[in-house]
Structure formats: structure tokens, C-alpha cells
Copies of this chain bind each other. A is one copy, B any other.
Amino acid sequence: MSTTPDSLNDLRDRLRQFAADRDWEQFHVPKNLAMSVAIEAAEIMEHFQWLTPDESAALPAPQRAAVAREIADVLLYLVRLADVLDIDPVEAALDKMAINARKYPAVRGI
């Protein structure tokens, strides 16, 4: 993997150390981590549950900060899940974008 400073690789390494320091590797099996990603994704949704689409785009600062904390939780579990499965999430994302580009051709800016 790349040795240039990279935010996701840094998070990945910090999460490895965090789990090791607390003897938590035993809990970080893919099944549990996949559940965790979904649990935290639902906590993001909770902030938008009763809002209209327009209201969701105009969140007051305190709610936006709360959503940031839930986005953080999803990202952390996702990076950890990818790591324990030896998956490079950015490489996977770039591959998926290439697939999506062919499936949904651009209509503007061509």
C-alpha cells in the first residue's frame, strides 16, 4: 500500500493500535463490524427522520455537529472492517466509480 501520508491509512493504523491497546481484536470480527457500520448509519438517519429534504439541507450548527459525530462513527467502523478483511476501501471506491460511470453515462459537461 502507498507510503505517502494519507488520511484513511492513518485512521486504519490508529484503529489497529486502539483495538490492540484494549484487547478488542476478539470483538472485531467482520460480522460484528458490519453490524456496527449499519448501527451507526442508522444514527446518522435519526437526525433526518422527520425533516423535509430542504430542512435536511439547512441543519443548524448543533445538529450538524451531532451528524458529524455519527459520520465519524460510520467511517471508523468502515475503515476497521475493510482492514480486517484486507480490503483497500479507496481502491474499491475508485473501481466502483468506474463501474457507475459506465452504468450511468454523463449527460452534462461532455
A interface list, Cβ under 8 A from B: 4-9, 11, 14-15, 17-18, 20-23, 27, 29-32, 34-39, 41-54, 56-57, 59, 64, 67-69, 71-76, 78-79, 81-82, 84-87, 89-90, 92-97, 100-101, 104, 106-110
Contacts and interface: CB of A to CB of B under 8 A. Distances in A.
Given A14-B94, A69-B92, A78-B78, 11 more contacts: A5-B6, A14-B97, A21-B110, A27-B50, A34-B56, A39-B45, A42-B43, A44-B81, A59-B85, A64-B86, A75-B92
Contacts of A78: 71, 74-75, 78
Contacts of A89: 71-72, 75
